[in-house]
Structure formats: structure tokens, C-alpha cells
Structure 1
């Protein structure tokens, strides 16, 4: 397993991270992802550790906290061997303060996560989304206190706009507070808008990408093709999952899958392995969060590392997945002094 620095920090993380969204299966959203219990989770973690993957990502809202509980039980006796990342910000209760990045909610959320995980520190804590109703100074000072208290070791964010992240970094620098080093962001062969602004920001500010949904919200499994019905166990069978996931035009998806098929025939690799390997060759990517309903899916995803696509294969996939840029990015791309970070 290859290890990379998490952004500009000194922490090295494996290029693949196992996501725990499939742990628990509590509720209509997460039941479509998977329902691994403690014993299945232990098997998945043992397979991961054997392959050198030692980072596990969760969130307080995954199956209403059950995913963190299962992860905590599954790593009992192995805490010194693993890195744990988790997230908070989204609603966790009906109260007016059970949401957001206020001092109140963050302290409650992190203490709750620590209890469920059965640990006294979190290796990487990430804000799950930007809270526009809480002063950034309040959020950052709270996180800095938690870092100094030893409850958090590294900080990151998720799903931020470029200005959200840049303003936060500027405020942290102004006051000498702990700095974000990671951005857990959506990025895939069928979702490349991360490259427009967030990637250049990541390069400039040394923010490592922790990629979520590298298979385009379960669309790049190799089972979704032109003229064929959705697999019965696909999360896309759930309208709720379709609505909360990134939108993708069908014809665009089929065009990318056609290119993946060509590369698959050249490499002997599966479509998911190729899609993940393509991401591993992109700037700023520190680690990719992979999911697995079972051992077979996990082993297949682990096969995405240890080899590289050729430049010609990357170019073929780049061309198939290229889309028109939104303003101001299309205008900036026409100016020779603004080269693409992935050119």
C-alpha cells in the first residue's frame, strides 16, 4: 500500500481509506448502502490491515451513530494500528442546537463520536459541511481548543466551496489556530468539477483531497450500461439516494463507461479499479474513500493500487469524461497564464 502525506501535514495516510457508510444500515438512506454488523466489519478491517490499508472513515450521521459504534467495536485491541477519521455538522437531533458548527454542537458531537468509537482521540476530524450561520472564528477557535486538548490530531473539511475554505484558512492563519489540511470532496471520472477551483486551491494551500464516492455514486461499478436495467441491489434503486447524490446525465455516463471498457480490455482490470486508479494519478489526491458491502467488493477495490494506467489510457479517459466548463472557468482557461492543474 502506498502512503502519502495528508496535504501539507506530516501525517502519512494510505492512498485508500475504508469508508464505514455501509456499517449499520440504519434508516432509509443508509440501508441502501449496506448493513454490515460488528462481525462483518471485523472481517473487512482485518482484510484492509493485511493489505496495508489502516485508515477508516466515518461520520456521526452514518446510520445515526451506529456506524461509529460498529467501527469502535471492530477495532478493539487495534487502536494503535489504525487511523480514524470522522465528521460532524449535519443534524443529529430535533433540538435547535443539534446541527451546525457552533461551539455547542461541535463539542457535543466530538464527545459523542469519541464515546461511540471507544477512543480518546480522533486522527482526522472533518466538518461535514459549511455552516453559514455560525461565525468562522467560533468554529475554528473551538476546533483549535480540541486539538490542544488532544481530542483531535488533524483537521479537515468536507463539501466546502473554494471561498469557504480559503476564508477559513486565512482566519486560522490570522489567529495562529490549527489549520485545515484536508478536504473530503466528491471527485470521480463522472464528476470532475473538483478540478475547476478546489484542486488549484489544494495545490496552492497544500490541502489534501480525501475523495468520496470515487465511483460516481455507484454508477461506475461496471454494472450500469446503456440499455440495461439497474442492478437490484444498487443504491440507485432508492429515489432518496438518487436525490441526495451527485446528478449525472445518462448519455455522459455511458460515454465514460465505453472508454472504461476499452481500457479494461487493455489492462485486464475491472471498471472500478480503473476509475480509482485514474483518481490516484490526479494532483492533490491524498487518499480515496472506498466502500464495500462485503469482502469481495473490498478485495476488488484493493486491486486498484500497485499499478498505473499509461499516459495514453489516462488521456482516453480524460477525453471521454471532459465537460464544458462553467463561468468563470471557461474564460480563465482561455488565458495562457492560467494553465490547467491536470494538463
Structure 2
């Protein structure tokens, strides 16, 4: 076992372990667990949770694969030592939770399962957001779809400007007291919004938040300006999504070339606005550096995120099994500090842009500023 304490006080363990499974509880034959794997685990914020340094994300996975493929991919992740899985009720209007629930059936022990609520799931008024009315219904439906009686980490997918925060967080505290939820987190929140909840929790005796999920990659570094410092100061786990910037950092999009058929940028045309000359200059640099190491651009992009001590765990995702496989090699890849610094330098300009997925109220309607 190799233990490393980083400059920010977080403990990182690189272990040769068997994959997480029911046998960790002492049940079953340990010979059935599977082959020994190498993985890193970290402390998850101000909690007792230990999570894998990579989190398996279910955002797009349900769309293009069969149920058998989806289940096999989750099982492979577990075999690789991944014990942290993130989904949301809004992924495929619940289908992401359904598929993950089927895959984790019989393998729930030892797994840290995270999901979210906020998006419109019901047709009636109040069928979205962070009201008590919506959250109480949403958590019951998530438990049913995930085929579990508790959720390890329950997150608000976005802030809800139409609901008093006292109502929202008193409801989440109730869920913890009921045993349906064990820990609380939020996604796409400003640092001050998390601070507001921590203050309310301390004042009212409510369960505090332990994590914040935000977008972070070489082309979106805005959280470095404030969020990173806040999370370090208050020991909030920083869980990041979009390490490949919607596929832009995989190398599939070329300067002056047509958008590949079936790609994410074809499905979401507004994202094509991100393909500027500045972005292509960065892609050229990333591609050249990845070539020198003999690895993929996708691996280098995620390895850059992992290299940041302030990031607790990035979420890896994809729409096909082969999108996940290169990520399991990351712990055997070493990138020189000088090259990490070079990537920092050429992408510095991307620290200064709009914070992603923060809801806005316009004419009484809520919209998200995303691309």
C-alpha cells in the first residue's frame, strides 16, 4: 500500500485490491470476487466515505447500448476497482437510474451510489425543482428505479430560484433522518450558495453538504477562481463532470472538418460555437503531447484533471463501452510536472468565462446557461 498526503491534507491511497463487492461484508466466497486490480481511493470531503479516484457516470450511457451492454460495462468498472457511481433522475427521464439499478443488483454492498433531482419529471405544477413537494416524490421514485433502500449521496442537480432554501434543505435533512439518504451534495452551485447551506445547517442543526459537483476540464477552468479555494477551506469534496468537454478533447473534431455524424456536437448544434481557433490551438497542443506519451487525447485530458489535488474525483462517462476502457489505464500513466504546467499555461484563458449550468429566471421561466 502506498499512502500519499497531498498539500491540501487529503489522503490518497494506491492499493492492490480486489474489486468492491458483497464479499467485503464477510458474506460469500472471496474466491468469487475476481482478479486483483490497482486503483486509488480518496476521502470524500468531510465524511467517512472512501471513493475511487474515478467516478462512473451514467449521463449518456443508456442512449445507445443494449441493457446487456450497460450491465456488463458497470460490472467491468467494479472489476477495475471503481466503487463510485453517479446518475440522476433526469438522465433519460429515469432510464439512467433504471439501467444502473439493474447492473448493481446483487453488488450493492461496497458501492457508493449517487443520484440527483431537479429536472422536470412530472407533468403537474411543481413537478420540478427543489421544493418539498417535488423532492419527497423524486427520492421515492429514484429508490424504486435504483432498486435500493438508500442512496449514499443525494444531490440537487441545480439551484431552484423559485423555492426558499430553508424548505429545500430542511427536506433533505428529513431524508437523512429517515435513512433514505446518507449524505448530501449539490451540483452546479456557486460557492456562496454552498456556504449559505453550510451556515443554515450549523444554525438549524441540519445535515450539512459534503460535496459540490461542477464542470471542469482544460477548456473550462472557471472554478479555479473561487470554488476551488472555498472547497479546500471547508473540506467540501469537489466532484467534476465533463473532463472531455463533451467529446471536444477526444480529437474527433478537426479544424475546418465537418462535424462527425452522430457525434454530440451534431446532436447539440449550439455546442459547435465552442470550436474556435483558440480551442483548436489547444487541441493541437494536447494531441502532440499525448502522442509523445503514446496515449490518447482523452487519457491526457482526464489525467490533467486527476493531477489537481483539489479535485476529489472526476466523473468519466461515455455512450459506448469502449469510451470507458481507456480510463482504467490512467493509474498506470505518469505525466511529467512540466507537461502539466504547460497544459495549465496554454489553457489559462479558459479560467475566465461563464459558470456552467446555473439556472436563470427569465419571464417567469427557468433556463440553464449551458453549451
Q: CA deviation at 1:326?
A: 5.0
- Distance in 1 separating the partners of 2:311 and 2:351: 21
Task: Say which SS state the counterpart of residue 56 (structure 2) adopts.
Answer: strand
- Distance in 2 separating the partners of 1:108 and 1:102: 10
Corresponding residue of 1:32: none
What are the ranges of 5 or more consecutive residues in structure 2 without an aligned counterpart? 1-38, 354-371
**Counterparts in 2 of 1:71 and 1:166: CA distance versus 1, 3 Å:** same
Q: Is 1:163–2:192 an aligned residue pair?
A: yes
Q: Is 1:202–2:227 an aligned residue pair?
A: no
Q: 2:57 aligns with which of 5, 11, 19?
A: 19
- Distance in 1 separating the partners of 2:340 and 2:228: 18
Q: Is 1:48–2:77 an aligned residue pair?
A: yes
Q: Is the 8 A contact 2:62 2:319 kept in 1?
A: no
Q: Is the 8 A contact 2:55 2:313 kept in 1?
A: yes
Bigger strand fraction: 2
Task: Say which SS state the counterpart of residue 210 (structure 1) adopts.
Answer: strand
- Distance in 1 separating the partners of 2:352 and 2:329: 35
- Distance in 2 separating the partners of 1:73 and 1:140: 30
Superposed structure 1 runs of 4+ greater than 6 Å apart = none
TM-score normalised to the size of structure 2?
Answer: 0.81
- Distance in 2 separating the partners of 1:11 and 1:264: 33
Matches within 5 A, 1:145-184: 145-184=174-213
Instruction: State the aligned residue count.
Output: 315
Task: Say which SS state the counterpart of residue 18 (structure 1) adopts.
Answer: strand
Corresponding residue of 1:299: 325
| RMSD between aligned residues | 1.7
Q: Is the 8 A contact 2:87 2:114 kept in 1?
A: yes
Per-residue CA deviation, residues 231-268 of structure 1 (Å, 9 max, x unaligned), is 22311101xx344x696351122121122122212211
Task: Say which SS state the counterpart of residue 158 (structure 2) adopts.
Answer: coil
What are the ranges of 5 or more consecutive residues in structure 1 without an aligned counterpart? 26-34, 328-343
Q: Is the 8 A contact 1:114 1:121 kept in 2?
A: yes
Q: Which has the higher contact order (CA 8 A, sep 6+)?
A: 1
**Counterparts in 2 of 1:134 and 1:247: CA distance versus 1, 3 Å:** farther
TM-score normalised to the size of structure 1?
Answer: 0.87
Q: Is 1:132–2:161 an aligned residue pair?
A: yes
- Distance in 1 separating the partners of 2:272 and 2:178: 37
